[in-house]
Amino acid sequence: MNSKVFFILAAVAVAAADRRPYSYSAPQFSSEESGPAHYNFEWKVDHDDSGNNFGHQEARDGHDTQGSYYVQLPDGRLQTVRFAVDGDSGFLPEVSYEGEARYPDSSESFESREFRGYAPPRPVYG
């Protein structure tokens, strides 16, 4: 009796495994194109405590893309890259710098410079 139930359950399992509820095939695309891309975005970070100052702005209308990005460099200058892309012309950047580079005194030894070490934040219990 047990062997009959086992064989029946095995036959049901094989039949169920043979059925494929989903059909897997290549995706179908419509003949219509989705059209040219259009977007405009901007983001920035300006955090005085850490000295972080960077951002990005970009706008696209079809094949014409224009924008810029900037970053505060460790030497104190602000580096800005303005760019344009028009169709197949490629990426055309224009790099500029604001401010004057400041470097630490080279006669000062590494050990004598002020060192701000990392200290993990103290837990606050509520």
* 115 inside domain: no
| 8 Å CB contact between 99 and 77 | yes
Query: Domain limits at 78?
Result: 36-102
Span 71-109, pLDDT tens digits = 999 888 999 999 999 878 888 999 999 999 988 765 555
Span 20-50, pLDDT tens digits = 666 777 877 766 667 788 999 999 999 888 8
State mean pLDDT over 1-21. Answer: 71
pLDDT at site 33 = 65
pTM: 0.56
| 8 Å CB contact between 86 and 63 | yes
* 119 inside domain: no
When pLDDT is cut at 50, 70 and 90, the band that residue 18 belongs to is: low
- d(CA 7, CA 69) in angstroms, rounded, equals 69
Total domains present in the chain: 1
